[in-house]
Amino acid sequence: MKKLSLFFIGLLLIPSLFLTSCDRGDDLIDSEATPAFTLMKDYLVSNNLDINNILAGPGDAIKFVVGEPAETDLNAFLSKYYIIDIRSSASYGDGHIQGAKNVAFTDILTEAPKAESKPILVVCYTGQTACYATALLRLYGYSNTQALKWGMSGWNSATAGPWNSNIGSPAAGNSNWSYSTAPPNLVFSDPIITSFSTDGSQILKERVEQVVADGFKTVSGGDVLASPNNYFVNNYFGEADYNAFGHITNAYRIKETLLLSTNGYQSLDPSSNAKIATYCYTGQTSAVLTAYLRVLGYDAYSITFGMNGLYNSNNAWVSNKWSASVSKNLPLVN
């Protein structure tokens, strides 16, 4: 009788042992699986989608922004591009570029196929959101996409309000504006992203779609200047400009090395409590970088209006400085 009881107990234990064995096996497989980030990173590098190629254009060196045309070149300009205007319907109705399609930012990925063989030009108020959209469209497969530099503010003085009203110099005389040398860059681990897919291209697609759905992530220069310790600040200037123009206190300078192929991206902090705030001169390059970094899994933000919003009156620089004279008077339709 005792032997029979032990026999039945053994039968009852077999399923639990089997399940335990399976659980351990799954854990082992999961622990040895290639991280989703690595799969996506390898795909990006092998398909010429590293950060420098998104900024300059894969293969054909098409820069991510294009300036407004001369009036004599207007017709050729208009016929060349499939123009997507991502401003509000009210602003679009007040005046837009001839032929431009009014599309919500969240719909850019479904609108892009309608361009067919035409290059895509994305237009917004200042060029910043358009640059964010351009980076995401390029990562999604629309490599021949550009943003209109300065946005509608540069197209016509009647639509220049967003730039005219947002330049400033809160950094002048501010204790958190420094002229010290850049701190040495640190080395961090990779960001962690999740996906059920093991295909790098599919993971990238998922990430881009999520970043589009989340919208443009920004922070004002004044907020970062007031509390720089709340951010991981990345100054995207050349070394000479970093020292000559000054910079937010303790801002890292991660530019030339910011690549996947050389692991330079590991100079950025991927932790969930590290808000990476990048700034450039106009907020347009930093918008591209921010979109890219968010796809990689960083909690990244673009400092709006860049140096123009931080220290427009700084006499050490001229290039990419906004003034009302930047606006052209190209035609608007409504």
Its CATH class, for the domain covering 177-311, is alpha beta
Comparing CA positions, the residue from 212, 225, 232, 116 lying closest to residue 168 is: 225
Which residues lie below 8 Å from residue 280, measured CB to CB, with a gap of 6+?
236, 237, 286, 289, 306, 307
The reported pLDDT for the residue numbered 15 is: 47
Burial, 188: exposed, middle or buried (Cβ in 10 Å; 0-12, 13-18, 19+)?
middle
- C-alpha torsion sign, points 252, 255, 261, 265: positive
Amino acid (1-letter code) at residue 172? A
Q: Please identify which residue in the block is written with the tokens 């994305």.
A: 122
Q: Among residues of the chain, what percentage have pLDDT more than 70?
A: 89
The reported pLDDT for the residue numbered 57 is: 54
Which residues lie below 8 Å from residue 2, measured CB to CB, with a gap of 6+?
none
Give this prediction's pTM.
0.90
Comparing CA positions, the residue from 161, 158, 156, 204 lying closest to residue 327 is: 156
Confidence of residue 269 (pLDDT cuts 50, 70, 90): very high
Q: Give the start-to-end residue ranges of the domains of the chain.
A: 42-161, 177-311
Tens-place pLDDT, residues 277-304: 999 999 999 999 999 999 999 999 999 9
Comparing CA positions, the residue from 187, 151, 120 lying closest to residue 287 is: 151
Comparing CA positions, the residue from 212, 64, 215 lying closest to residue 149 is: 64
CATH fold of 42-161: Oxidized Rhodanese; domain 1 (3.40.250)
Tens-place pLDDT, residues 168-196: 999 999 999 999 999 999 999 999 999 99
Tens-place pLDDT, residues 94-108: 999 999 999 999 999
Q: What tokens does 152 get? A: 């509608």
Comparing CA positions, the residue from 295, 159, 167, 164 lying closest to residue 220 is: 167
Q: 42-161 and 177-311 share one CATH topology?
A: yes
The reported pLDDT for the residue numbered 23 is: 40
- CA 72, 122, 312: angle at the middle one, nearest 5? 85
Region of 282 (left: φ > 0; alpha: ψ -120 to 50; beta: rest) is alpha
The reported pLDDT for the residue numbered 118 is: 97
Q: Compute the distance between CA of residue 272 and CA of residue 317 in angstroms, rounded to an integer.
A: 35
The reported pLDDT for the residue numbered 59 is: 52
Residue 122, strand partner residues: 84, 147
Q: What is the mean pLDDT of the chain?
A: 91
Q: Flag whether pLDDT at 18 surpasses 90.
A: no
Q: Flag whether pLDDT at 143 surpasses 50.
A: yes
Q: Compute the distance between CA of residue 109 and CA of residue 249 in angstroms, rounded to an integer.
A: 38
Note whether 171 and 223 are within 8 A (CB).
no
